[in-house]
Structure 1
Amino acid sequence: MTHPTRPHRNFYGRLKGKHLKKSQEGYLAEDLDALSPGPVSWDDNPDRTPLDLDALFGGKDVWLEVGFGGGEHVIHQAASNPDVGIIGCEPYINGVAMLLGKVRRADVDNLRIHPGDVRDMFDVLPEASISKAFLLYPDPWPKARHHRRRFVTPEHLEPLARVLKPGSEFRVATDIPDYVRQTLEEVPRHGFAWMAEGPEDWRTPWEDWLSTRYEQKALREGRTPHYLTFRKL
């Protein structure tokens, strides 16, 4: 059988911190496999067979969070919206372990976790299968020569647009003015409309927003959060 060719993908950023707590090592060993959305990696799914989201979530609408950090927001959304299924992607294993602890305490059953690159997830998500997506305080890669590493580039936005349903919502939160600039330049080029009608629309958090540790750090350091909402055309 001929398999698709694995693309060469550079990954930038940390995959693991200095240490994990014993409890977090236990979460990873005991809970992660059961919360997997399915065979996502190239080693487990060389044919890139699409995930069966109906079987995974019982026909619910599916949301996607890209880079969930410590998991505060994604667990909040899962607990607040039991009528949807949510997939969280995060390559930083310390963040994955933190979320697994939160899953135990929240006792949610509508959340699945991919501990890896969201680009691999895009490969196996069916076209027009995601109803809402979140990109919250992504790595800003502040140096100009590193801006191509940001999420808001064609390498990520093209497959994101493919998997989002028409009319679905894409939320971006960032405290970095230049990231706002690049987001507003690039996202509409890939089939999205910015929904703001006035300044309060990007200055005011969404009604169901839960402030994350990254936002709290930004506020302590005097940076201003921006809340950008796009609609997939």
Structure 2
Amino acid sequence: MTDSSDTPERPWRNFYGRRSGKTLRNSQRGYLDADLKALSPGPVDFDENPERRPLDLKALFDDRPVWLEIGFGGGEHMVHMAARYPGVGIIGCEPFINGVAMLLGKIRRAGVTNVAVHPGDVRDLFDVLPAGSITKAFLNYPDPWPKARHHRRRFVTPEHLQPLHRVLAPGAEFRVATDIPDYVRQTLEEVPPAGFDLLDQGGTPWEDWLSTRYEQKALREGREPHYLTFRRR
């Protein structure tokens, strides 16, 4: 029996993004029903893990290095990386259920098996990831929250960067892709003080980059992608 005095109190966390969008197709609902549970990284939510026990990533991925994609959108980049690097395990986190359903369809078609999916808030996942367990993290085209009064909702703020720093291994790489100049500004201002060194930035993508549907939309609308690479100190 668990002593309630040892159980962490559930933090209050505002969530501002969308949880769902247009009605899912029957095939997408089928992916969620049939595949999502089996792809869980383990007990993440407070209801199933109130003690906030760390996930057993060594058992999950057979002791392979583990990468994290924060907000995988439609999942094309995550599946691409999983197929290209079968020697790593990749956890994807995305609260938008339509994006989760899209990812599951791509996982089926690609046949990749080195993936896990958390369909929720990455802050809950941070709680239960062991310290220093992630060797690379991706933040691709995050919600820009363009209004100045909403900039504190962006991922590149201490609320997210401090726990990200905790779960990343020393020397781990953190990649950010965005088409919003002010997001670049805030990233450059906020990420280094959180314990990261800037390695590179500019308009040239990484050698193993896969252009996402969000990036293609940005290019069609005349916005220029920007790619930033940091290393966790």
In structure 1, distance between residues paired with 2:157 and 2:212: 24
In structure 2, distance between residues paired with 1:7 and 1:115: 19
Q: How does 1:51-70 map to 2 (within 5 A)?
A: 51-70=55-74
The structural deviation recorded for 1:176 is 0.2
| Match of residue 39 from structure 1 | 43
| Match of residue 222 from structure 2 | 222
| Match of residue 48 from structure 1 | 52
Q: How does 1:45-194 map to 2 (within 5 A)?
A: 45-194=49-198
In structure 1, distance between residues paired with 2:123 and 2:207: 29
Return structure 1 stretches of 4+ with deviation > 2 angstroms. Answer: none
Report Cα offsets for 1:163-222 as digits up to 9, x if no partner.
0000010000000000000000000001100012xxxx4210000000000000000000
TM-score (norm 1): 0.98
In structure 2, distance between residues paired with 1:13 and 1:111: 24
Report Cα offsets for 1:14-50 as digits up to 9, x if no partner.
1001200000000000000000000000001000000
Structure 2 unaligned segments of length 5 or more: list them.
none
RMSD in angstroms over aligned alpha carbons?
A: 0.5
Aligned residues, how many? 229
SS at match of 2:103: helix
Structure 1 unaligned segments of length 5 or more: list them.
none
| Match of residue 202 from structure 2 | 202
In structure 2, distance between residues paired with 1:207 and 1:89: 23
SS at match of 1:63: strand
In structure 2, distance between residues paired with 1:82 and 1:178: 35
**Which letter maps to 2:104?**
L
| Percentage of pairs with the same residue | 74
